[in-house]
Structure 1
Amino acid sequence: MKVEIYSDIACPWCYVGKRRFERALAAFPGAEDIQVTYRPYELDPTTPAEPAPLRERLAAKFGAANLDGMNARLADVGAGEGITFDFTQALAVNTLTAHRVLWLALTEFGPAAQAALKDRLLAAYFTEGENVADHDRLTEFAVEAGLDRDRVVAFLASDEGTDEVRREIAEAREMGVTAVPTFVFEGKWAVQGAQEASTFLQVLEQVRDQSAESAAPAGDGDACADGSCAV
């Protein structure tokens, strides 16, 4: 079974969704036959390459009055999945370069390396307050995930992968992906949002049995309020 997960490093619900989907996989017989691929998506392509406090950017976009409640809810949900969200340290920064390294991980090192790097980048962004656009830090994260240091350094010094990543992002929008995370099963069924692990498990079983006609998107696409982050 092929599962493609459209997500952004700057999306907290993508972090939650990754953890929940992995729990579902752990409970799914035949999980070793499932190929999971992370596809790029930019919630805000206009985010500058220079980092700035995430809290300030979110307050400007969604309103400071709503921010504390949103962050508190995410902190509670994250804690339930073993995730520590620290929005006081998180830095808003353009994620295109990080997506390029994820593309490299998949293309040359395989899905397992890509998944490990995805997890590392999400932790760096939301827990550690790291600049995920910084080439030196990206190199370290990639090496921790099993990528070759020299290859990553050379890759980041070039424009390699830029066109491919931008094309994948454009294709996602053409497919109708407007919020992340979006999980696409076998190229046919789409589930949107950080669903509970039990829901993901049910979808996996339905796809396996080829009995599901469709998987309806969840959430209303309102900012980052209901299990997904919208543009």
Structure 2
Amino acid sequence: HTQPFELNPQMPPGGRDVFEYLSEKYGNPISQVKINQERIYQRAAEIGFTFHPEGRKRVYNTFNGHRLLHWAGEEFDAAAQLRLKKALFHTYFTLAVSMDEPQHLLDAVARANLPVSRAQAVIESDEFSQAVRDIEQQYGQLGISSVPAVIFNQRHLISGAQAPEVFAQAILEYAD
């Protein structure tokens, strides 16, 4: 089940240049940020995920995307939520288009085979806003400050990008 976690909740409309933002956030020169991004692109390609050929240019606020994911989980099921998450990842990382633009979010909804008119109503309202904020606060209080973060049996946390073997071991170790 997907839970909301915004990496950039204070991001202004229109976003920011990805290299400048990451340089400022992590205190690395832009040249190092570009090297790090290239490593991410290579690792993603190894598992079949395609980034935009030029990478993403900007970082955007993703709150509306999180509200839509919450909607999909509430009104449909985990499978619908996963389809939408994959469609939103495709929008953000592969197409590298603005997540501020409602139409791009609605295009992702359509790719996930969910009702676009209902999604548009969610975007145009504040529906699910408080629920998403409450969940984000709950996970923040649990000490989650980065993604990915996977919680097993609501008590064992694996944080950060890990090798598949780490998750396989956790499943074996924490299975009830």
Q: Give the alignment of 1:70-149 within 5 angstroms.
A: 70-86=36-52, 88-149=55-116
Q: Does 1:199 align with 2:163?
A: no
Report if the CA contact (8 A) 2:17-2:57 is conserved: yes
Aligned to 2:140: 173
Report if the CA contact (8 A) 2:19-2:34 is conserved: no
Report if the CA contact (8 A) 2:8-2:60 is conserved: no
Deviation at 1:45, TM superposition (A): 1.4
Aligned to 1:155: 122
Aligned to 1:40: 4
Alignment equivalent of 1:57, drawn from 12, 21, 31: 21
> Secondary structure at 2:95's aligned position in 1?
coil
- Aligned length, in residue pairs: 173
Relative contact order (alpha carbons < 8 A, sep ≥ 6): 1 or 2 greater? 1
Listed one character per residue, the Cα deviations across residues 109-159 of structure 1 (whole Å, up to 9, x for unaligned) are 110011111111112111211112311111121121121122111111110
* Paired-residue identity, %: 28
Q: Which range is displaced more, 142-151 or 59-68?
A: 59-68
- CA RMSD between the two structures: 1.6
Structure 2: state its 5+ residue gaps. none
> Secondary structure at 2:3's aligned position in 1?
strand
TM-score (norm 2): 0.90
Higher strand content, 1 or 2 = 1
Q: Which range is displaced more, 104-113 or 191-200?
A: 191-200
Report if the CA contact (8 A) 1:95-1:132 is conserved: yes
Distance 1:90 1:146 in 2: 28
Distance 1:178 1:58 in 2: 16
Q: 1:157 to 1:67 in 2, by over 3 A?
A: same
Report if the CA contact (8 A) 1:98-1:133 is conserved: no
Deviation at 1:107, TM superposition (A): 0.5
TM-score (norm 1): 0.70
